[in-house]
Amino acid sequence: MDVLENTTTALRQAEHIMVFTGAGISAESGIPTFRDRLTGLWARHDPQRLETAKAFRENPALVWGWYLWRRQQVLQAQPNAAHRAIARLADGGRQVTVITQNIDDLHERAGSQDVVHLHGSLMIPKCFACHRPAELSAVEQPVPHEGALIEPPRCTRCNGRLRSGVVWFGEDLPAGAWKTAAQTARSCDVMLSIGTSGVVMPAASLPDLALAAGAVVIHINPIDVCMDEPKELMLIGEAGQVLPALIERGLAR
Ligand code: BJW
Ligand code: ZN
């Protein structure tokens, strides 16, 4: 049997599917990944200067402006065929749990329910001092250009500066998110791991947890990211190309 046939069979037989996504699934919506050598965000930007608590302390206006810029990019982007195919996966009556490392809201906008964000969200800022989630004012100033300096608004409770609600290195994952992700990895029959380089912990250990518990792990990525375990399957290609056809076949029980 070939890989496509094996993946289709695994999907058809599964009662509980975990969909685990990374930046690659949103690449075809025009949102850059982090580590892709030519097109990734970090090919052009130093994350130490923009994406750490230290950077925020030293230059809050630069870091706040950076996340508002990225938020604006996401608001202008649309879910792609891969996000939509994942939302359709739940139509077949199976249990589908979407766990994403992404800080965009494209799964939700494509129609997926109860998406777990392991690395936070661009959409819900929080207070740098008291950590409470905050709301952005309904009327937002457009960000004129990348690198714009914009003074962060203040927390209505403690007057601390607002920061983006994403998870920086060294910070804990949002309460409950990791517990749900680990439990889902241990209890699913099939994990679809899509568009992630698998280097950021603890998220990168989720496929191992699923394999150890006996699940089939199907990777979808233009690059071979397989660890060569017996129950791993690798579909090489872009998510927007591979997923719609795969899910169409997998839905027909
Ligand atoms: C396509 C495609 C297409 C392209 N279709 N695919 C154990 C060992 C060593 C270190 C650690 C450890 N435990 C913790 C650490 C430290 C650290 C860490 O992991 N460091 C390593 C890098 C060495 N981790 C942390 O600090 C984490 N916190 C933590 O562990 O707290 C303690 C804790 C422990 C246990 C439970 C709970 C708490 C926090 C990590 C925060 C990550 N933050 C970032 C930045 C967010 C802010 C921002 O955006 O500005 O999150 S880093 C960045 O990487 C971002 C992503 O979510 C994350 C993962 O990246 P992803 O999604 O895989 O993207 P890329 O770019 O790497 O890959 C894209 C892939 O797509 C590629 O494979 C392409 O080929 C593919 N692709 N086009 C399909 N069309
Ligand atoms: Zn506060």
Reduced to 3 DSSP states, what percent helix, strand and coil does the chain have, rounded to the nearest 5?
Answer: 40, 20, 45
Instruction: Clarify whether residues 177 and 111 are in a common domain.
Output: yes
User: Which tokens in the block code for residue 38?
Assistant: 């030519």
Instruction: Clarify whether residues 143 and 238 are in a common domain.
Output: no
Other C-beta atoms lying within 10 Å of the C-beta of residue 186: 15
In the reported structure, the alpha carbon of residue 206 is separated from the centroid of ligand 2 by a whole-number distance in angstroms of 33
How far is the C-alpha of 238 from the C-alpha of 222, rounded, in Å? 6
- Residue 139 pLDDT: 54
Instruction: Clarify whether residues 201 and 250 are in a common domain.
Output: yes
Which of residues 166, 189, 223 is at a domain's end?
166
Q: Which residues line ligand 1 (CB under 6 A)?
A: 22-24, 27-28, 33-36, 40, 51, 101, 103, 119, 166-167, 169-173, 178, 195-197, 199-202, 220-223, 225, 238-239
pLDDT confidence of 143, banded at 50, 70, 90?
Answer: confident
Q: Residue range 202-212: average pLDDT?
A: 98
- Cα-atom radius of gyration of the chain, to the nearest Å? 19
Please indicate whether residue 83 is annotated as part of the active site: no
Average pLDDT of the chain, as a whole number = 94
Instruction: Clarify whether residues 23 and 135 are in a common domain.
Output: no
CA 93 vs CA 73, 188, 252: distances in Å: 34, 15, 12
Instruction: Clarify whether residues 27 and 126 are in a common domain.
Output: no
User: What is the number of structural domains in the chain?
Assistant: 2
In the reported structure, the alpha carbon of residue 125 is separated from the centroid of ligand 2 by a whole-number distance in angstroms of 11
Measured from the Cα of 220, ligand 1's closest atom is 79
Instruction: Clarify whether residues 244 and 211 are in a common domain.
Output: yes
How far is the C-alpha of 44 from the C-alpha of 67, rounded, in Å? 15
How far is the C-alpha of 62 from the C-alpha of 58, rounded, in Å? 9
CB 191 within 8 A of CB 20: yes
How far is the C-alpha of 237 from the C-alpha of 134, rounded, in Å? 39
Q: What is the pLDDT of residues 11-37, one digit of tens each?
A: 999 999 999 999 999 999 999 999 999
Q: Which of 83, 107, 117, 119 is catalytic?
A: 119
Instruction: Clarify whether residues 141 and 218 are in a common domain.
Output: no
Instruction: Clarify whether residues 106 and 213 are in a common domain.
Output: yes
Q: What is the pLDDT of residues 155-171, one digit of tens each?
A: 999 999 999 999 999 99
The C-alpha angle 72, 75, 76, rounded to 5 degrees, equals: 90
Residue having the nearest C-alpha atom to atom 2 of ligand 1:
24
Instruction: Clarify whether residues 71 and 83 are in a common domain.
Output: no
Residues 6+ apart with CB under 8 A from 172: none
Q: At 212, which CATH number?
A: 3.40.50.1220
Handedness of CA 203, 204, 207, 208 (dihedral sign): negative
Residue 173 has pLDDT above 80, yes or no: yes
Whether the model pTM is above 0.85: yes
Instruction: Clarify whether residues 186 and 105 are in a common domain.
Output: yes
Q: Which amino acid is at 177?
A: A
Q: In what order do the strands lie in the sheet with 216-221?
A: 116-117, 95-100, 16-21, 190-194, 216-221, 232-236
Instruction: Clarify whether residues 64 and 186 are in a common domain.
Output: no
In the reported structure, the alpha carbon of residue 151 is separated from the centroid of ligand 1 by a whole-number distance in angstroms of 28
Q: Which ligand is nearest to the CA of 173?
A: 1
Q: At 49, which CATH number?
A: 3.30.1600.10
Residue 104 has pLDDT above 80, yes or no: yes
Which residue range(s) make up the domain with 13?
1-31+79-119+172-253
Instruction: Clarify whether residues 204 and 186 are in a common domain.
Output: yes
Residues 6+ apart with CB under 8 A from 184: 16, 18, 97, 99
User: Which tokens in the block code for residue 81?
Assistant: 């065929």
